[in-house]
Structure 1
Amino acid sequence: MDVLAMPFGKIYDLLVQKVVRKCGDGADVDRATLWLTGYAKEALDEAKASPVSYGDFFRQAPEPNPLRLEIVGKVCGVSVADIEDGLWRDVRTLDLIVDRLAKGRRLDAILPH
């Protein structure tokens, strides 16, 4: 199944579990997602409980943070900066942030200011 078609809440739970299992705080995934997409906390919570797809969650982001484009690194051997499709770049940027959180990095050290 295409990850973009999967329910946002299901994928999101997996991202939080990865961070918590490895050593982090699951709330950092919320903070990173809010920073990345511009959603309000209430809207994020609603999306987690709704049937919205992972792809639609990113497509409908109210105010994607322009600084998200400054986040660089590789996910599955692919440089995030080299991903031309904006939707996939945003999806992989969140993956990259989660990977770094799971390695014990602090969120304020990951996100550009």
Structure 2
Amino acid sequence: MAKHKIYTMSVAKVYPHYVLKAEKKGRTKLEVDEIIRWLTGYSQEELEAQLEKETDFETFFAEAPHMNPARALIKGVVCGVRVEEIEEATMREIRYLDKLIDELARGKAMEKILRK
């Protein structure tokens, strides 16, 4: 079975859409970055380096310094699919990120988004 197209897509290509979605709802790029850092364990400098290198999603998550164990608390539907029921690990990580950005755009408090 061929890999899903999103795996080979550059995170840097999708990142501006995450930021735009957040900013349209009065949120900030800093909040988007905080969510990504919380999920993956990248520092701000490491995140920026990954974006600059145009790392693909599969590599981005495979090389993440420390995937946050609290990500298992992320529940809900993204693109018509329940994130907690996604079997394939990389796709689940991508959808976790999508879900967190959706929550940010809907105005949810950062403490709740970051499962504190």
Of 55, 58, 61, which aligns to 1:55? 58
- Structure 1 ranges of 4+ moved more than 3 A: none
Q: Unpaired runs of 5+ in structure 2?
A: none
Equivalents in 2 of 1:13, 1:62: separation in Å? 22
Equivalents in 2 of 1:24, 1:43: separation in Å? 22
Of 23, 27, 30, which aligns to 2:26? 23
Equivalents in 2 of 1:105, 1:26: separation in Å? 15
Aligned AA (1:33): I
Residues 23-102 of structure 1 mapped to structure 2, 5 A cutoff: 23-102=26-105
Q: Unpaired runs of 5+ in structure 1?
A: none
For residues 4-52 of structure 1, the C-alpha deviation after alignment (integer angstroms, 9 at most, x for no partner) is: 2111111111111111122211211100110100111110011111121
Aligned AA (1:66): P
Equivalents in 2 of 1:94, 1:24: separation in Å? 16
Over aligned residues, Cα RMSD in angstroms? 1.3
Q: Structure 2 length as normaliser, TM-score?
A: 0.90
Aligned AA (2:110): L
